[in-house]
Chain A
Amino acid sequence: MAEATRLTGRQVAWVIDLNRCIGCQTCSVACKVLWTQGEGEEPMWWCTVNTKPGLGTPRDWESMGGGYQNGELALGRLPTAEEFGEVWKFNHDEVYASGKGSEAFLHPVGAPPTWGMNWDEDIGAGGYPNAHFFYLPRLCNHCSQPACLEACPNGALYKRTEDGLVLRDEDRCKGEQTCSRACPYKKIYFNAARKVSQHCIGCFPRLEKGVAPACVRQCPGRAVFFGFLYDPKATVHRLVHEWKVALPLHAEWGTEPNVFYIPPLSTPWIREDGSVDESRRRLPTEYLESLFGPRVRDALRTLESEISKRREGNPSELMETLIAYDWKEMLGPFTRDPAELTWS
């Protein structure tokens, strides 16, 4: 089915510039408010932003397995609700009106939470003053080789030819969660109330009306480019295939993700005496390589050399593109203002 979307050229792709992502969770919250406030959806965050290095959500998802090994589908482990981070109930009423006064303070009631969607926020790694981290937003990769789809015993998952989104027929889904085990990114949630799995739908109802996905259109960091990956004029295409500065996450898992990342540059290393070592990055390149593969080195070199061009007053087409003077340029052909829509 990957072939089908390739032929139509209509695979949508996200390119997320990690030098622009500020970890604010606006994408996560926008997505949550739009799609996952229904019954059983309370613990779901189809889009999340986590601090890397870090364990993220579900906790330590990178070690859970899934995807393809030597071309073969490999089912991994099913993450638990606790590993995703559960819904916390708070004692608002007890604090406000129980007559206990300051004896009662606001906190999650019941067993103290042990994890959440953003539990290890801003911890990162390294030692002061060379501590380092960056933010990694994650959503369904709408893969071109979706392991979830292949794994589903009920044929509930399908890849649309219109846009290459991997969607789920929720009436066919029997909630067996094989898809979750197969997805190496662990971006599939289980609706315990409705007994079906759910995941990012790529905001397809918006796309169909010419409106960019919420995580794209609502990103205040202007970190996300969106568009058709195989359209040679598309910014996402050029960033991925021409400049090669945008890379998939864990390509080695074999699912051919359609979310790509422009790797983070790093502030330089500070030596013990407080002087700056220009030649050494605080954020180890080896670590980035473990996420984005060996091509990350070239991508970083390209970014750095293009920035230097601008610094020396020379033009850089790449930097012009990344600046995105006109924000709408980031949205590909999905530039419509949703407020202008009318429903018949």
Chain B
Amino acid sequence: MEEETQVVVRSYEEARTRASGPASEDRYRERWRWDKVVWGTHCVDCYPGNCPMRVYVRDGKVVREEQSGDFPRIEAGVPDMNPLGCQKGVCWGQHLEAPDRVLHPLRRVGERGEGRWERVSWEEAIDEIADSMLDAIEESGSESIVQLMGPEANPWNAVGLARLITRVGGLNTDVNAEINDFSPGIYLTFGKFNLCSSLDDTFHSELILTFGANPVYTVIASYHYQVEARYNGAESVIFAPDCSPSTMLVDRHLPVRPGTDAAWALAMCKVIIDEGLVNERFVKEQTDLPLLVRTDTRRYLRACDLETGASEEQFFVYDQRSGRVVEAPRGTLELGAADPALGGEYEVTLADGSRVTVTPVFELVREHLEQYAPERAAEICGVHPEEIRKLARKVAAKRTYVWAGGTSLKYYHADQMVRSVILLLGLTGNWGKKGAGIGCWSIGMFDGMMLLGQKQQKGPEETRRFLSGRDAVIDAIKAEDPTRTEEICRIEMTRRMAGLAGMIPPAFLWYRHAGYRENWNRADWSDPTMPRPFDEYMREAVEKGWWGDVAWPAEGQPPRVIFQAGGNTLRRTRGGQNMLLRQLWPNARTVVTIDWRMSTTALQSDFVLPATNAYEAPRFHIPSPHMLTLIYSDRATEPAGEAKSEWEMTLLLAKALGRKASERGIEECQSGRGSVHSLKDLYQQFTLGEEMITEEDACEEMLQDTVIAGTIPEGTDLAAMRERGYLRFIDWGVSPFAINQASDLKPDETHAHSRWHTENKLPYPTLTRRAQFYIEHEWFLEAGEALPTHKENPKMGGDHPFVMTSGHNRWSVHSMNTTNPLLLHTHRGRPHAVIHAGDAAKKGIRDGDEVRVFNDMGEFFVPAKVTPNAQPGQVIVYNGWEPYMFRGWRGPMDIEPGMVKWLHLAGGYGHLHYWAFQWQPTPVDRAVRIDIERAK
């Protein structure tokens, strides 16, 4: 304790010996007492989430929690992260005995969703679920067992249920499509979506440019860095259609028409080029802009064009120094003596002797941007041309960080908005250094979690054996092409093993089994520039094998057993109950929800299994580069009711499955993908020979393996974590996701992504090995989207006058906090729709009135919040509300058609292939067309 504090405490003690206050003082002193303090953390909802908390226990019950507030300062001259944690986290203990808590295993007795349950024993529930899984394997194939992965799938799901499902040949859907948090724009450009600087790196920015975000609502725990950066001299600019708290605390709010952000970004690019503000060194070295493109085919000039049988992946630049067309190196970004041209036209002789003209991508960009003069862009997006010019000059001069929020992932043409913004950053050299870049989310570093899924035996030898096998695979991949970096090799390995991993991009499931085929083929809801029906693209993508072994489950193989754990699919899925209950549910024999609370999905399930909440069982969280910290959450109290951890219930399920399989005489099963799965001794397999039974056993194993992987210090064990609660990672480890950060992880510096690219000249994992703005895949050329471009948002949901926008809400983020009675009192206790006062007046809607929101998909009812803040024509319904908080349990998700963009099925091209959390179609929801009226 610091000296000054000691003095104060002593003086209080002295004061009390002189005269004690009234007895009521003592009663308050007595309230603030406890008999145990443990470490705890909660959800991952907002990124980073999982704020380290101290949990105070009295008489065996959690009385409260408080942020630990003891994060060390990482970098001198940068504020620390304290006291990480928001209003949800500081009342998490309220959940333990809340009215939405599930306390016992429940089996449905009425119709699905009727709300009639019987309490059953764990044994009965697990036995019946196991039987249903075996029925599914025998009757429909193992791919008919599907877990729809939720965002709160903590490590107990990853090493528990998800691992068990994979072990019997079932499928887990890719959570990044389930939650629509994939950034196709970042992926298309960098070959990875998950760039992610640490929270404190924002402080280094000189210009923070925010779009598609309301960070005051969504990143409560780390918003302070934006204010501090501003106090440090940074400028903060936000593009947003509506006025929100995030538009109040900035230097500039530039209102923009929903869905038109590509327009201002491209206009700024044009200004930068026209005014000679391009960072040419950066552009030539880091991007594809100097690469030569054939003017006849609009395709890159490739070695195979020049010489029969040569590489399809060798590209060229025009070296101004030698006056020759030369190879762009693939193993490095270092240009050596070459000085690539950014302009001009050049002639080359092809292998067949013909001559074609080639020109750098930069030249194409320059031509392409002719249509985005600031005045023209202003007509599209509503931002004043002078503001565009002024800001462009600032981006060119300042260290710029772009805060691209969740909305920048969830527009139909979100890829175009983000590609356009990255072009702006690329032209100005704004990534790969502190305080600059653009980000999304990532995982990694907690390698013990990944390793546990791979082990057949307990102990470090098995881990080392696996890791050396893995190293051999990496070496072999490197040997195939020595220009591959470690990062590229890891991605390639992950891609090749995607089918075996049992994780699928869910687009195929939705298309084949959940009714989305009909929506995605609706020309009137789709982009009018989509040249052919959606079906044709799907057929071509599958026939060409672009989605190889991950396009499952097959046609005619509807999911028979559906699991939902750590998520609420009927809430989060665009189309919600309107699609899933009508299309997916009827074919499912058994729907199982594992949760600590009654979600809408739970209410529509056949079984609800009560899970332990935070504080009730030991667990880790899933760390991210945002704070580079492994955080442990201890058992503070006994589980409520009969709740079990997902780990424990998965062991029960493994045991029951093995027993019942042997009763049925099935020793193994073969999946439709050809893999063979032993069902014998499943429990022994799962517990590594019955040596890993308790949560503590598994925690210890994961920690030891993480030490071996090198991301946490030697000697870290569970006892150390119990004592200290959290620790900072010391290295990236073995996962492909952590290494995507492509910067050294330093103990005393903020983390800014991509420094290996800019400083060490390591190539990017893209087709061209450079940040790639020109995507000349045949579909992209056909669509006119080879270069970043603006396209109008399609009329998703029909031709209606209003657009419905959304975003994480402040009071819950996702649905898990929306029914907490305490937090319900911090707003109006019900969902609401934010409507512009003028629109409301025209429609005869007053504040608090029930409003009918409708489109071609259906309708829902919601109270109005009439404000001056929404843009006229915009209706904001924040997401996260439980559907059962709306009349008839129908909410905004039910009128979102869940459209996906056809181009995101593209493959067979460089980096356009699936690997975990990466390239895949994800449904969008922003600016769905609606109309509103006062409910009758």
List residues of chain A with CB under 8 Å of any chain B CB: 19-20, 22-26, 28-30, 32-35, 85, 87-88, 90, 92-93, 95-108, 113, 116-119, 121-135, 158, 160-162, 167-172, 201, 204-210, 214, 217-222, 264-268, 270, 273-276, 282-283, 307, 310-313, 319, 322-328, 333-340, 343
Contact = CB atoms under 8 A, between A and B. Distances in A.
A221 B231 contact: no
A102 to B, nearest CB: 4
A97 B113 CA distance: 10
Given A34-B32, A205-B29, A310-B233, A128 B245 contact: no
11 contacts: A24-B87, A100-B115, A102-B890, A117-B825, A162-B15, A219-B83, A266-B248, A326-B73, A327-B79, A327-B80, A343-B34
Interface in B420-439: none
B11 A335 contact: no
B792 interface: no
The 5 closest A-B pairs by CB, nearest first: A310-B233, A274-B384, A92-B99, A170-B24, A169-B22
A173 to B, nearest CB: 8
A275 B233 contact: no
Nearest to A268: B252
Q: Which of B111, B227, B250 has the most CB of A within 10 A?
A: B227
Contacts of B221: 220
Interface stretch (B278-286, B489-497, B863-871, B904-912): B863-871
B91 A29 contact: yes
Nearest to B387: A276
B252 A267 contact: yes
B25 interface: yes
A100 B114 CA distance: 6
Contact of B819 (A92, A93, A124, A326): A92
Given A128-B872, A171-B22, A307-B230, A210 B5 contact: yes
Contacts, number: 329
A158 B25 CA distance: 12
Contact of A336 (B1, B114, B224, B378): B1
Contacts of A335: 1-2, 4-5
Given A98-B115, A207-B12, A88 B824 contact: yes
A270 B253 contact: yes
Contact of B887 (A105, A117, A129, A204): A105
Given A169-B22, A218-B83, 14 more contacts: A26-B86, A26-B87, A98-B115, A105-B888, A128-B255, A128-B872, A204-B25, A205-B29, A207-B8, A208-B16, A265-B249, A267-B251, A325-B79, A327-B69
A102 B83 contact: no
Interface string B20-46: 011111011101111101000000000
Nearest to B53: A339
B7 to A, nearest CB: 7
Contacts of A104: 115
B216 A209 contact: no
Contact of A22 (B28, B77, B85, B245): B245
Interface in B723-775: none
B532 interface: no
B73 A129 contact: no
Contacts of B233: 307, 310-313, 319
A209 B49 CA distance: 30
A35 to B, nearest CB: 7
Given A28-B87, A105-B889, A128 B378 contact: no
A105 B829 contact: no
Nearest to B38: A339
Interface of B: 1-2, 4-9, 11-13, 15-16, 21-25, 27-29, 31-35, 37, 54, 64, 66-70, 73, 77-80, 82-87, 90-91, 93-94, 99-100, 110-111, 113-117, 216, 220-221, 223-224, 227-228, 230-233, 235, 243-245, 247-255, 378, 382-384, 386-387, 598, 603, 810, 819, 821-830, 834, 836-838, 865-872, 882, 884-890
Contacts of A123: 865-869
A30 B823 CA distance: 11
B82 A327 contact: yes
B878 to A, nearest CB: 11
A319 B15 CA distance: 36
B98 to A, nearest CB: 8
B186 to A, nearest CB: 26
Contacts of B244: 122
A275 B869 contact: no
Contacts of A338: 54, 66
B231 to A, nearest CB: 5
Given A307-B231, A338-B66, A26 B90 contact: yes
Nearest to A106: B885
A171 B23 contact: yes
B904 to A, nearest CB: 33
Contacts of B33: 343
Contacts of B117: 97
A122 B1 contact: no
Given A106-B882, A106-B885, A275-B387, A22 B220 contact: yes
Contact of B8 (A87, A334, A339): A334
